[in-house]
Amino acid sequence: RKEVEQDPGPFNVPEGATVAFNCTYSNSASQSFFWYRQDCRKEPKLLMSVYSSGNEDGRFTAQLNRASQYISLLIRDSKLSDSATYLCVVIKGSQGNLIFGKGTKLSVKP
C-alpha cells in the first residue's frame, strides 16, 4: 500500500464551484499533515497545515480524521488561479522529511 494515496484527477470544474480532494495515509504513526500546491514544473508551496480540529484559511478548509487516516481539502468559490496540482503530505515520526502523495490535478475553467 502506498504511504500517501490521492485520486490523481483531473478535476475539471467551472469558476465558482466547490471542489473537494481526499487523501489517505498508511502509517498510523504519521504526526503532521499538510496540503501543498504545485504549479506545472514549479516547486511545491505550502498551502496549509492540517489539524485534527480542522482548519480554515479563506476559501480553503482542511480536515484530518486520524481514526480513518484520512485527510481532505475543500476549496470553495474556485478561481482560475486555483488550477494546479494539490499534494497531500505527511511527516512520519520526528525526522521532518516530507512524504508526498502523487497529487490531484485541478483545472478551473471560465
Partner 1 sequence: EPEVTQTPSHQVTQMGQEVILRCVPISNHLYFYWYRQILGQKVEFLVSFYNNEISEKSEIFDDQFSVERPDGSNFTLKIRSTKLEDSAMYFCASELAGVEEQYFGPGTRLTVT
Q: Of the two residues 103 and 108, which places its CB atom closer to partner 1 in the complex?
A: 103
Using CB under 8 A, list all residues that contact partner 1: 32, 38, 41-46, 49, 87, 91, 95-103
Is 26:3 a contact under the CB 8 Å cutoff?
A: yes
Q: Of the two residues 22 and 49, which places its CB atom closer to partner 1 in the complex?
A: 49
Which set of grid coordinates corresponds to residue 9?
A: 484527477
Least separation in angstroms between residue 32's CB and partner 1 is 6
Least separation in angstroms between residue 6's CB and partner 1 is 9
- Give helix then strand counts, H and E, for the chain: 0, 11
What kind and span of H or E run contains 82?
none
Alpha-carbon distance of 96 to 106, in angstroms, equals 27
Least separation in angstroms between residue 102's CB and partner 1 is 4
Q: Of the two residues 47 and 78, which places its CB atom closer to partner 1 in the complex?
A: 47
Residue matched to cell numbers 499533515: 33
